[in-house]
């Protein structure tokens, strides 16, 4: 009899385990909520700094209010909550999806602005303030993507409320990109790689004209040409340096990295 009882026992235990597993499934507290209530709860979470808790609520609202202006609003506010909670890649993906689905939305300018801000504020890590690392010393992919978003915003929506701030940030990004090239040029020069230093300094001058980093780029060119014995090019560049920045000597030391441009905020 024991031999025949075992399958029944196994079945009973399996069924008990299945029921126990089902009992652990978290109940959806929003199941009977109206879209308006979900939105209110999500906004309350976000305004209280609970961005991680707000994101899934906005996601539920997107599905619950699909095809309505409220769903579009939820998508934008979800992107902002993702950005504030440090999920920047997810925020950009949400904004890209919004712009693809709603190309004629009156909030399209805001979506571009928020995408630019998300990339603009690409953080330096938890201990960045200790090292005082300048954004110009890092890879500039995020800065370039930020610039592209701000540029599109200012070109397509010049009267947008976000355009003036976007223009200011574009200026800082350009300065950063130029300073990045100068930083690399300085790195090469200090290690005796003068040809490489010349190439990066020339990039800074040709691609980012009229920026503060131009003075340092010219100084690196002068010193690099001098080290290579290219005296004609050295003298020509020195004349350009003195014309644009009077009083600058070819013997003046190269500048160290200055305070991060983004610290102006």
What is the pLDDT averaged over residues 88-115? 96
* Residue 76 phi, psi dihedral angles, 5° rounding: -65, -40
Per-residue pLDDT at 30: 81
**Among candidate residues 257, 228, 230, 252, the one with its CA nearest the CA of residue 241:** 252
Q: Is 9 among the domain residues?
A: no
Q: Give the number of domains in the chain.
A: 2
Instruction: Give the domain extent around 184.
Output: 173-264
- The predicted-structure confidence for 27-38, as pLDDT tens digits, reads as follows 778 888 999 999
Residue 164 has pLDDT above 90, yes or no: yes
Q: Work out the pLDDT band at 17, boundaries 50, 70, 90.
A: low
Angle between helical axes of 69-84 and 51-64 (0-180°, round to 10) = 160
- The predicted-structure confidence for 223-236, as pLDDT tens digits, reads as follows 999 999 999 999 99
Q: Is 241 among the domain residues?
A: yes
What is the pLDDT averaged over residues 111-132? 66
| Structure tokens, 133 | 């690392």
Residue 10 has pLDDT above 80, yes or no: no
SS3 call for 220: helix
**Among candidate residues 195, 109, 112, the one with its CA nearest the CA of residue 160:** 109
Q: Is 193 among the domain residues?
A: yes
Residue 126 has pLDDT above 70, yes or no: no
Tokens 């954004």, residue located: 135
What is the pLDDT averaged over residues 104-116? 97
Angle between helical axes of 194-207 and 163-190 (0-180°, round to 10) = 160
What CATH number should be reported for the domain holding residue 230?
1.25.40.10
Per-residue pLDDT at 24: 53
| 264 secondary structure, DSSP code | G
SS3 call for 212: coil
Contact criterion met (CB below 8 Å) for 257 and 136: yes
Q: Work out the pLDDT band at 262, boundaries 50, 70, 90.
A: very low
Residue 210 has pLDDT above 90, yes or no: no
């Amino acid at each position: 009899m024991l031999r025949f009882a075992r399958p029944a026992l196994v079945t009973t235990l399996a069924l008990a385990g299945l029921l126990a597993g089902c009992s652990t499934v978290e109940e959806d507290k929003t199941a009977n909520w109206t879209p308006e209530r979900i939105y209110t709860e999500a906004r309350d979470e976000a305004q209280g700094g609970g961005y991680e808790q707000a994101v899934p609520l906005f996601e539920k609202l997107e599905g619950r209010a699909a095809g309505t202006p409220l769903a579009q609003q939820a998508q934008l506010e979800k992107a902002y909550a993702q950005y504030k909670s440090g999920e920047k890649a997810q925020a950009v993906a949400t904004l890209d999806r919004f712009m693809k689905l709603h190309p004629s939305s009156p909030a399209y300018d805001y979506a571009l602005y928020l995408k630019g801000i998300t990339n603009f504020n690409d953080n330096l890590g938890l201990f960045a303030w200790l090292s005082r690392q300048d954004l110009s010393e890092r890879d500039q992919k995020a800065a370039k993507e930020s610039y592209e978003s701000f540029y599109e915003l200012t070109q397509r929506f010049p009267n947008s409320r976000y355009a003036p701030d976007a223009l200011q940030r574009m200026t800082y990004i350009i300065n950063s990109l130029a300073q990045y090239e100068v930083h690399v040029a300085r790195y090469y020069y200090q290690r005796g790689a003068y040809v490489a230093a010349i190439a990066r300094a020339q990039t800074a001058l040709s691609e980012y004209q009229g920026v503060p980093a131009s003075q340092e780029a010219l100084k690196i060119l002068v010193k690099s040409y001098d080290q290579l014995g290219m005296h004609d090019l050295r003298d020509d560049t020195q004349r350009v340096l003195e014309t644009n920045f009077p009083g600058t000597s070819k013997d003046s030391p190269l500048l160290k990295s200055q305070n991060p441009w983004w610290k102006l905020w």
